[in-house]
Amino acid sequence: MGAGPGFLASYARQRRPDLRWIASDLLVAPWNDVAADAQQLPFGDGSFDALLGVDVLHHLTHINSFFTESARILKPGGRISLAEPWVTPLSYPVYRWLHQEGCTLSIDPWHPFAESAKDPWEGDAAVPWRLVRDTGEARWRELGLGPPRVAPMNAFAYLFTLGFRNASLLPRRLTPALLWLDRRSRALASLLGLRVLLSWIR
Q: What domains can you pick out in the chain, each with its CATH number?
A: 37-201 (3.40.50)
Q: Write out pLDDT tens, residues 132-183.
A: 999 999 999 999 999 999 999 987 777 777 766 667 777 888 888 888 988 8
The DSSP string of 76-143 is EEEEEEEEEE---TTHHHHHHHSSSSB--TT--TTS-S-GGG--TT--BTTHHHHHHHH--HHHHHHT
Which SS3 state, helix, strand or coil, does residue 176 take?
helix
Phi, psi of 54 (to 5 degrees): -125, 120
Q: What DSSP state is assigned to residue 4?
A: T
Residue 21 neighbours by CB distance under 10 Å = 15
Q: Which amino acid is at 48?
A: F
Q: Write out pLDDT tens, residues 31-78.
A: 999 999 999 999 999 999 999 999 999 999 999 999 999 999 999 999
Q: Which amino acid is at 107?
A: I
* 0.85 exceeded by pTM: yes
pLDDT of the residue at 178? 85
Region at 46 (left for phi over 0; alpha for psi -120 to 50; beta for the rest): left
CB 53 within 8 A of CB 59: no
Residue 89 has pLDDT above 90, yes or no: yes
Return the H-helix or E-strand segment holding 156. helix 156-161
| Upper half-sphere CA count for residue 84 (Cβ side, 13 Å) | 31
β-strand partners of 35: 25
Nearest to 200 by CA among 147, 152, 133: 147
**Rg of the chain on CA atoms, in Å:** 17
Reported as a pLDDT band with limits 50, 70 and 90, residue 115 is: confident
- Cα–Cα distance, 112 to 200 (Å, whole number): 21
Return the H-helix or E-strand segment holding 197. strand 195-201
Residue 87 neighbours by CB distance under 10 Å = 23
CA distances from residue 104 to 36, 66, 95, 131, 165 in whole angstroms, order as listed: 27, 21, 9, 12, 23
